[in-house]
Structure 1
Amino acid sequence: MSIIKRKGFKKIVWLAVILIGIGFLLNWYLAYRLENFLKDELSKRVTEATDGFYQLEYSDLKIGIWNGELQIDSVIFKPNPETFNRYMLGDSLPKTYLNFTLDKIHFKGINLVWRVSYRELNFSLFEIQKPQVTIYQSDSSDNQKQNTSQSDSTQTLHELIAPYIDVLTVEEINLTNATVTYYAGTDNDESRYQLQDVSFHAYGFRLDENSYTSGKLLYSDNFDFTTNRPQTLLSNNQLLFNTKNIYLSTIASLIHIKNIDILPQRDLWTKKNIT
């Protein structure tokens, strides 16, 4: 009986090894197929969703074999140069456009490999490293308003993703070492608003068909950001608005700004020449 039991045990072990091996190979194949699909389609879908105005580039895109999580490295999102120049020559640039880069974005909490449908995605965490966002408000003449192209940001964020995703939720979004710059006005009277080296966290992010009218800032239940370095929040022909540390939290209902300094540009010019 002991020999029979040993043979039976060996068969069970071998069967388990074979099943594990088949499972591993199947998981590897599905991850490989999804990874290649995203590499082939992601940039195309971004271009289609923005009517050819924007393009997406990146150095690497990976699907984790074990956890099925998506990671994208060295992302560049910017207007397509050819389309941008054509719109600019035709005086039909969108009123607002942007570009951004980031070192890495990691989508955590969902095994994308084994999902049957991607219409509803509920992530636990978006980890975004060193995003650099620049937003431009183009010169808004009456002619430009009339000829603004279809790529103008009249679509809501949900309308952009609606062909592929119905509901997107994220328990927490973390941005580290973020810089956001906003240029408004004309070349002769341009204002620059900027936050540098900011750590930002959003909680309870939800994007669906009702998000735009929900009244929630940044589509989130709460958020906070902090920066511990000197900032020039506003710079234009008239003044500089400088601060030091900034902390904002909707959870604590707190805004703390240290050492506010509003300096007229002419005073700055005078001080520089005196010294």
Structure 2
Amino acid sequence: MAREARAVGVNWSFTPVLDINAAWRSSIVATRGYGSDCETIARHALPQIRVFQEEGIAATAKHWPGEWHDDRDQHLVTTINSLSMEDWEATHGRLYREAIDAGVMSVMTAHIALPAFAREVGQDDGADAYLPGSVSHPINTTLLRERLGFNGLVVSDASRMAGLSSVMEAVDSKVQIIASGGDVILFSLDFEAEMAGIRDALHAGRITRERFFDAVTRVLGLKAWAGLHRGDTLPALPDPARNADQMAELLHRAPVRKRTSTPPCRWTQSATGAC
């Protein structure tokens, strides 16, 4: 997978999914998670992180702070991780700690609330406790950075998903993603206006200079890890006319070989030789 991706110009993957497929009706997890128990997920996700990054593709653990407990869809509404912090530490916390220990380069924060942690750090049980993780300073900074010790890049999930856009306006959400600890924002329908909003927030102090330059440094760090500061180029696809077998291997297809005989009939031949 990694070599195929590199061959077509990819150097950053938004995988693996660390979500736990326990709420069986969840369309978010069921079709793309590794399983319903932590042992199975770790057994697959940790080697994927290692091998992808050995092959020059930055891996991303997602969807922070962990999906499985809400069978709704964060594309449509903010979902809720309803675990106690004790149970969270034994499941999602364990998986993210292991991914961080494995050196995962990035974490994708999602539009998932973790009210147990919000209450633990002193937020009331009102709306603030149910903020999407993508715009939550306690979830992204206190929990991910400080407690779990993650020192890589935090990228938001798609910022136009209704799990975030139903909570706050577009420009405000972009500002809050950066202010709360995110480094890269996914998706914009009005790039110039939203960039201007972030610049204005920086000048007004809603985003501190330290937080802004921390985000910039982490972006540059990921680019440096990928070799982009040296002008490294990704490997070109091989010439299919000269190396059909290598092209077939890269594209996960069996090598095409010349047919040397008439293929056998699927049915018994008649006396005339027709199938």
Tell me if both proteins adopt one fold, taking TM over 0.5 as the criterion.
no
Return the TM-score normalized by structure 2.
0.25
| Greater relative contact order, per chain length (Cα 8 Å cut-off, separation 6+) | 2
Higher helix share: 2
Higher strand share: 1
